[in-house]
């Protein structure tokens, strides 16, 4: 059960002019489930993406990078679940190329204008024949209103489909931003998450779009962790079709900040949905680290807390065994950290309690306050490093029996 998250209703996911989505059952790894998604983009659409930094990155990630560098006119995305097509060598690259060629033939565009995405088991080969055989059905299903179905079709261990949508009116023109994401485990994105797609019908100059993809990832998918494992397939793509009639050519445009903010809001909602649906999660934890010397050291501390199995099992147990948070701060890698300058608060529902200061337990801290807050489903850990002005936020979840169960049973 995800923590305070439900998939928006189909009618709450506004269509984006220039984007149609279709899904099909291709039987890639399991039968009787929609495991193939085709996204068709109108001519003139632009796309920018950020991808996993994992050195064993998947074949489709390599090909996405290649196509984004070559093509100015991305016309389709093709996404399969079941098999990640990662650690598959030359055969994997051929499978990804064959997939793009088949999509190009199906939709009447060039191979280079197709971006491929895969998610699922690593080290197994993609059954390209079955995938390609599923394309006609996916094409038949193409519809601007199929965001909801597409959000379902890209799921793996996810328990809910993840989607978000915004409409803003600028200069009398309605601009829509809609996105979907998937992911629940192997989540510690390093540039992007498993799969995230956000489309807008605003027109965006290429350099603005590329910067926005990076900036949006940095404050959304790059701020989450479920288990600290950076996936081989992380991909986050922002698409701008320009079909709304609103075109933004430079960062000086009066509407740039409004569109940027809306895209980032959608990306953050999608990224947080992944943590809320983190494998086995029962709690949603926000870790805010401030007063750091650099943003990088704040991130190190936030991730040390967010990754610690001891901290995460304490949250699962609702046990205010908060010394574990101090231990994580201490080993986060700030070599000259003065532990006596660190403060730690625990908060929920607008309440915040000072837990630790001066290198020890705060005099005002009472165990019953910690216990009460630890029982909440949404908890904030706030840390003040007492060494500067920088800050960083990470979203994570707790660590339960079900995480082990899900990952011990994944392939069975």
Shortest distance, CB of residue 301 to a copy of itself, whole angstroms? 10
**Options 7, 128, 193, 380, the catalytic residue:** 193
Residue range at the interface with a copy of itself (CB under 8 A); choices 135-143, 269-277, 283-291, 330-338: 330-338
Span 166-185, contacts to a copy of itself by CB under 8 A: 185
Q: Is residue 82 a contact partner of residue 130, using CB atoms and an 8 Å limit?
A: no
For residues 184 to 203, the per-residue mask of contacts with a copy of itself, x marking binding by CB under 8 A and - elsewhere, is -xx-x-x-------------
Q: Which of 36, 342, 379, 394 is in the footprint of a copy of itself by CB under 8 A? A: 342
Span 251-310, contacts to a copy of itself by CB under 8 A: 307-310
Q: What is the DSSP string of 94-121?
A: HHHHHHHHHHHHHHTS-GGGEEEEEEEE
Q: Which two tokens stand for residue 226?
A: 């479920």
Q: Could you tell me where the beta strands, DSSP code E, fall in 224-296?
A: 224-225, 235-240, 247-248, 284-292
Q: Which is nearer to a copy of itself, 1 or 404 (CB)?
A: 404
Q: Which of 20, 324, 382, 387 is in the footprint of a copy of itself by CB under 8 A? A: 324
Q: How many Å apart are CA 355 and CA 322, to the nearest integer?
A: 8
Residue range at the interface with a copy of itself (CB under 8 A); choices 32-40, 82-90, 96-104, 109-117: 82-90
Shortest distance, CB of residue 315 to a copy of itself, whole angstroms? 9
Span 52-81, contacts to a copy of itself by CB under 8 A: 53-57
Q: Could you tell me where the beta strands, DSSP code E, fall in 140-278?
A: 162-170, 173-182, 195-200, 203-204, 224-225, 235-240, 247-248
Q: Any contact of residue 119 with a copy of itself (CB under 8 A)?
A: no
Q: Any contact of residue 30 with a copy of itself (CB under 8 A)?
A: no
End-to-end CA, the chain? 21
Instruction: Residue 41: name the closest of 213, 239, 244, 173 by CA.
Output: 239
Q: Which of 361, 369, 378, 388 is in the footprint of a copy of itself by CB under 8 A? A: 361
Q: Which two tokens stand for residue 378?
A: 């949404």
Q: Which of 220, 231, 243, 396 is in the footprint of a copy of itself by CB under 8 A? A: 231
Active site residue 193: yes
Q: Is residue 227 a contact partner of residue 188, using CB atoms and an 8 Å limit?
A: yes
Q: How many Å apart are CA 326 and CA 359, to the nearest integer?
A: 9
The count of residues in the chain is 412
Q: Which is nearer to a copy of itself, 11 or 409 (CB)?
A: 409
Per-residue CA distances from 94 to 37, 80, 87 (Å): 20, 16, 13
Q: Any contact of residue 407 with a copy of itself (CB under 8 A)?
A: yes
Shortest distance, CB of residue 299 to a copy of itself, whole angstroms? 15
Instruction: Residue 120: name the closest of 77, 157, 88, 168 by CA.
Output: 157
Q: Which of 64, 153, 246, 322 is in the footprint of a copy of itself by CB under 8 A? A: 322
SS3 20: strand
Where in the sequence numbering do the catalytic residues fall? 193
């Amino acid at each position: 059960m995800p923590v305070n998250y439900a998939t928006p209703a189909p009618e709450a996911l506004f269509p984006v002019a220039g984007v149609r989505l279709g899904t099909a059952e291709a039987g890639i790894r399991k039968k009787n489930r929609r495991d193939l998604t085709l996204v068709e983009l109108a001519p003139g659409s632009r796309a920018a993406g950020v991808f996993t930094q994992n050195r064993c990155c998947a074949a489709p990630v390599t090909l996405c990078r290649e196509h984004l560098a070559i093509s100015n006119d991305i016309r389709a995305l093709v996404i399969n679940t079941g098999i990640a097509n990662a650690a598959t060598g030359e055969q994997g690259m051929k499978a990804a190329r064959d997939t793009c060629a088949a999509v190009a033939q199906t939709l009447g565009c060039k191979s280079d204008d197709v971006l491929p995405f895969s998610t699922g088991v690593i080290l197994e080969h993609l059954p390209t024949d079955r995938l390609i055989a599923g394309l006609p059905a996916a094409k038949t299903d193409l519809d601007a209103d199929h965001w909801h179905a597409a959000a379902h079709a890209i799921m793996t261990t996810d328990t809910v489909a993840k989607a978000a949508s915004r409409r803003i009116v600028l200069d009398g023109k309605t601009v829509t931003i809609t996105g979907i994401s998937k992911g629940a485990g192997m989540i510690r994105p390093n540039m992007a998450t498993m799969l995230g797609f956000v489309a807008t019908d605003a027109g965006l100059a290429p350099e603005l779009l590329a910067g926005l993809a990076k900036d949006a990832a940095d404050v959304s998918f790059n701020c989450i962790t479920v288990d600290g494992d950076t996936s081989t397939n992380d991909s986050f793509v922002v698409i701008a079709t320009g079909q709304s009639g609103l075109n933004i050519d430079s960062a000086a445009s009066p509407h740039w900040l409004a569109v940027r903010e809306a895209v980032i809001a959608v990306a953050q909602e999608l990224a947080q949905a992944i943590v809320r649906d983190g494998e086995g999660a029962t709690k949603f934890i926000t870790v805010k680290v401030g007063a750091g010397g650099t943003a990088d050291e704040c991130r190190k501390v936030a991730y040390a807390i967010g990754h610690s199995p001891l901290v995460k099992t304490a949250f699962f147990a609702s046990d205010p065994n908060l010394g574990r948070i101090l231990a994580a701060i201490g080993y986060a890698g700030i070599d000259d950290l003065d532990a006596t300058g660190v403060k730690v608060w625990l908060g929920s529902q607008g309440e915040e309690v000072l837990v630790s200061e001066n290198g020890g337990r705060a005099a005002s801290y009472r165990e019953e306050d910690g216990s009460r807050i630890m029982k909440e489903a949404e908890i904030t850990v706030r840390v003040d490093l007492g060494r500067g002005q920088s800050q960083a936020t990470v979203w994570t979840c707790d660590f339960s029996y079900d995480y082990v169960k899900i990952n011990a049973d994944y392939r069975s």
